[in-house]
Chain A
């Protein structure tokens, strides 16, 4: 037997194969295209917000904290230099009321090419002396004055030499630099707003994606269940229930995991990575290139570790599968273990498996324990490089301090997406394996072929004809050989035979649970392959030996969800099959809740319920497959009585290995080793003194 617990090892899937699997998800995502696209737009917005965060300190530092102004005196410089400056950097200058005198902020100074700046300094065009821009009112109060001939800058500001502020108290400086302080406050508020905004956007992004993902999984699960339900019985012979359950639960959960964690984070990470690169290059492309020297190293390291991690990951899955299989097998064979007094050796075997799993898990932990610090080291090296190289640039006035701070901030953000992407690979792999299994199951076509234009005979009463039907479950061993018999409308026909003679198979074919190759079966004079399957099955009431009772009310178990079955019909049907007495005795009557598998009911009561269920559909043919073989004598009498009543008004096929129950049948068909060996009435067959006769002797009541 094949066991499968959803922990199967994953094989290596090739890339085109991956793409083909992913493509199959597209139809499922189609109904949720809008929320998914919206979520992606949100993702992009969130990334932009996140990208803005390290930029704000830069603005705070450069524009406000370290804000200095340098005088630009164009009238003193030579004409050529003047024109050159005006053309290139004129727009950076804030003019004053004194013609030719302007000021340029330290932030804007960084935009001037270092070579140009040197020439301007030499030509006396740009002064090296730094000024603060202070509020005019405060300057007057503290007796400060600006450059000569300049009493008033544009607006209500005054430029005063940096030196002039040195002797002042902190309070006085704060008052003078009121404008800078206000700027810092605004940036602080803005930062909080950005984070607040990103929290809200994150909520919606998560909500939309999760909702779409859950909906998609629901659809896939529904689709899977729908397809499984339509499969022929042969499919269920091949696929153990445990495997099907795993497909519909674990594997779909894996898929969901991939959808939300992989597709989303990877998309987000790639976007974030690109954003960081763009911002870094914009801030200072030289420094950006220096920072990027680490990327190949990080990439190779990540690849190395993720490959190792993947191997170990697979190994762990293998061990877990082995543990599962071991437990399953040993627990189902517990009697053998106890009989042979092998508890200790089994414990040892189990310990070995567990230990191997432990070792593999430890290897995984070690890999991550090395990998994570490695990434931290790279991150530190990157920041070290920035401090050394970038710090030098700051000293050389080629880079603002704020830019350096922003760089460091972005560098810290830079490594997380790389790590994320490598980590998600495992999830991706297991999801791919799950997807392969889900779609593999969906693709299995054991569906019974339905006719394109089913025919529907009218006004018939249950005639059945088997014409030379042969069948084998698995190629090779034939279960039915050239079976031919006839049931006339209104007849009671019995099918008897030793265990394994093919009686139940006959019914399986009639109900179209299995496809058969040779011969033909006619129901109501029409080949069953031309019937609509649901129509066919609803006309045949089948009561089996093992009755399946669903958890639910008695009424639901009889109507099987058919809304046409009302209380009156239930009452009538129950009376018809002698079930009403026991149902009335149940607390709540028809509304009595039956436990799963009907454990609260006796075998006979379950049988009566099944009989009611079959009759509720008002079938034209009633089949009783060993319906009374495991029932107490009292209930058996009840059932026999109802069968007698029923068989008087409709066509009935009774299957039995005990001939005692079918003596009064209109016709008895005797099966033996897949063949029909005798047909006739009880008297006729007894006269033959062959198979039926011997069956009777074998099963005659003892004592």
Chain B
């Protein structure tokens, strides 16, 4: 989509001036809806990119918490998924798409509610591993989970398209405005989930 007004800069360069392929190559974007192709797990992760070493594949699989599960599949990493293969659960698909994004180690990684179908503990572990893999690199996380918020350097609070607050978790909580209300609400929702 095109921007109507204002500027969007990446490393100081307006996005319009960046070659589209280069731009997209420098951003790893994991959406909420994981799309998995009817192919092997390896091909789904590599996704056409060449010259990637086994070590990196292994690291990525570890980071996305896929490694142990893949070992239990009949042909390991060469197992077919999708129509003519095994069916992955929503969480497994999400983790697979995270591995796909991590493999190119992009300067910018965007996780758009990318682990919504993964349980909280695994999500935590994956996020830690992902952040560990990317020292000095930008990671943007869109999330509705409390546990994620503590990890962020900056939290931007958006409200109906407006940026209403920004800062780290502690500062924002201390101001007691929109973020606090949101935080409480999330807390309430998670609490509610926990009610048996």
Residues on A lying within 8 angstroms of B by beta carbon are 1-3, 325, 329-330, 332-333, 335-336, 338-342, 344-346, 498, 672-673, 677, 690-691, 694-695, 697-698, 702
Contacts of B25 in A (CB 8 A): 341
Contact A346 to B29, CB < 8 A, known contacts A340-B24, A691-B195: no
On whether the beta carbons of B191 and A340 are closer than 8 Å, the reply is: no
Tell whether A341 pairs with B35 under 8 Å between CB atoms, given A325-B83, A695-B192. Answer: no
Query: Contact mask B170-196 → A, CB, 8 Å, 1/0?
Result: 000000000001000100110111011
Does B95 reach chain A (CB closer than 8 Å)?
Answer: no
Among B24, B37, B100, B193, contact of A341 (Cβ-Cβ < 8 Å): B24
- For this complex, 15 residue pairs linking A to B, each with C-beta atoms less than 8 Å apart, are A1-B83, A335-B31, A335-B35, A336-B47, A336-B97, A339-B29, A340-B47, A340-B48, A341-B25, A498-B193, A694-B191, A698-B185, A698-B189, A698-B192, A702-B181
CB distance from B119 to the nearest CB of A (A): 15
A333 x B37 contact (CB < 8 A): yes
In the complex, whether B79 has a CB less than 8 A from a CB of chain A is no
Q: Which residues of B contact A339 (CB under 8 A)?
A: 24, 27, 29
Q: How far is the CA of A345 from the CA of B46 in the complex (A)?
A: 11
Task: Tell me the bound Cα distance from A345 to B83 in angstroms.
Answer: 21
Q: Which residue of A lies closest to B110 (CB)?
A: A339
Max chain B Cβ within 10 angstroms of own Cβ: one of A336, A342, A344, A697: A336
In the assembled complex, B38 has its CB within 8 A of some CB on chain A = yes
Q: Are A345 and B24 CB-contacts (below 8 A) given A2-B83, A329-B37?
A: no
The answer to whether B195 touches A690 (Cβ under 8 A) is yes
| CB contact under 8 A between A333 and B35, given known A325-B83, A341-B21, A341-B24 | yes
Q: Tell me which residues across on chain B come within 8 A of A332, comparing CB atoms.
A: 35
Q: Is A697 a contact partner of B188 (Cβ separation < 8 A)?
A: yes
Contacts of B191 in A (CB 8 A): 694
A498 CA / B25 CA spacing, docked (Å): 40
Given contacts A3-B83, A325-B38, contact A340 B188 (CB under 8 A): no
- Name the interface residues of B62-100: CB closer than 8 Å to any CB of A: 82-83, 97, 100
Taking A691-B192, A694-B191, A698-B192 as given, write out 8 further A-B residue pairs in contact, using a Cβ cutoff of 8 Å, ordered by the A residue number.
A1-B83, A329-B82, A332-B35, A335-B31, A336-B31, A498-B192, A672-B195, A677-B195
A332 to B37, CA, bound (A): 10
A335: nearest chain-B partner, CB-CB: B31
- Contacts between the two chains (Cβ within 8 Å), count: 60
Cα-based distance from A673 to B194 in the complex (angstroms): 10
Q: Given A2-B83, A329-B38, A339-B29, are A345 and B195 neighbors across the interface (CB < 8 Å)?
A: no
**B1-54: which residues lie under 8 A (CB-CB) from chain A?**
21, 24-25, 27, 29, 31, 35, 37-38, 47-49
**In the bound complex, CA of A447 to CA of B47 (Å):** 43
The number of chain B residues with a CB under 8 A from chain A is 26
| C-alpha spacing A426/B135, complex, angstroms | 62
When distances are taken between beta carbons in the complex, the residues of chain B under 8 Å from A345 are 47-48
Give the one of B82, B185, B191, B192 with max A CB within 10 A: B192
* Bound form: Cα–Cα A680–B94 in Å: 41
Instruction: Give min CB distance, B193 to chain A, whole Å.
Output: 8
Interchain CA distance A702-B191 in the complex, whole Å:
20
Asked whether A698 lies within 8 Å of B188 as measured between CB atoms, the reply is yes
Q: Would A336 and B48 be within 8 Å (CB), given that A691-B195, A698-B185 are in contact?
A: no
**B188: chain A residues within 8 A (beta carbon):** 694, 697-698
Q: Could you say which of B25, B48, B100, B193 has the most chain A C-beta atoms within 10 Å of its C-beta?
A: B48
Residues in chain B near residue A325, CB distance under 8 A: 38, 83
Q: Which residue of B lies closest to A332 (CB)?
A: B35
In the docked arrangement, what's the CA distance between A672 and B192, Å? 9
Q: How far is the CA of A335 from the CA of B112 in the complex (A)?
A: 14
Bound form: Cα–Cα A484–B24 in Å = 54
Within the assembled complex, what's the spacing in Å between the Cα atoms of A335 and B47?
13
Q: What residue of chain B has the Cβ atom nearest to residue A699's Cβ?
A: B185
In the bound assembly, the distance between CA atoms of A473 and B185 in angstroms comes to 31
Q: For A329, what are the chain B residues with a Cβ–Cβ distance below 8 Å? A: 37-38, 82
A355–B24 alpha-carbon span in the complex (Å) = 30
Distance, CA A672 to CA B191, complexed state (A): 12
Question: Which residues of the partner chain A approach B83 to less than 8 Å between Cβ atoms?
Answer: 1-3, 325
Q: Which residue of B lies closest to A345 (CB)?
A: B48
Question: In whole Å, how far is A671's beta carbon from the nearest beta carbon of chain B?
Answer: 12
Q: Which residues of chain A come closer than 8 Å to B192, judged between CB atoms?
A: 498, 672, 691, 694-695, 698
Cα of A30 to Cα of B97 in the assembled complex, Å: 56
B47 contact set on A, CB distance < 8 A:
336, 340, 342, 345
Query: How far, in whole Å, are A340 and B99 apart by their CA atoms in the complex?
Result: 13
Establish whether residues B48 and A338, one from each chain, have CB atoms under 8 Å apart when the complex forms.
no
> Closest residue of chain B to A339, judged by CB?
B29
Q: Which residue of A lies closest to B191 (CB)?
A: A694
Chain B positions within 8 Å of A333 at CB level: 35, 37
Which residues B129-188 have CB closer than 8 A to chain A? 181, 185, 188
In the complex, A19→B122 CA distance in Å?
56
How near does chain A come to B81, taking the closest CB pair, in angstroms? 11
A695 to B189, CA, bound (A): 8
A101 vs B173: C-alpha distance when bound (angstroms): 136
Contacts of B82 in A (CB 8 A): 1, 329
Q: Tell me the minimal C-beta distance from B89 to chain A in angstroms.
A: 12
What residues on A are CB-neighbors of B27 within 8 Å? 339
B29: min CB distance to chain A, Å: 5
Chain A residues in 8 Å Cβ range of B104? 340
Bound together, the chains give a CA A434 to CA B196 distance in angstroms of 50
CB nearest to A695 among chain B residues: B192
B31: chain A residues at CB < 8 Å are 335-336
Q: Which residue of A lies closest to B196 (CB)?
A: A673
Closest B residue to A342 by beta carbon equals: B48
Query: Are B100 and A340 within 8 A (Cβ)?
Result: yes
Chain A residues near B29 (CB, 8 Å)?
A: 339
Chain B residues whose CB sits within 8 angstroms of the CB of A695 once the complex forms: 192
**B59 to chain A: closest CB distance in Å?**
19
Q: Chain A residues with Cβ under 8 A from B181's Cβ?
A: 702
Contacts of A697 in B (CB 8 A): 185, 188
Enumerate chain A residues within 8 angstroms of B196, measured Cβ to Cβ.
Answer: 673
Smallest Cβ distance from A515 to chain B, in angstroms? 25
In Å, the complex CA distance between A333 and B31 comes to 11
Q: B35 touching A336 by the CB < 8 A rule?
A: yes
Interface hub of A2, A341, A344, A690 (most chain B Cβ within 10 A): A341
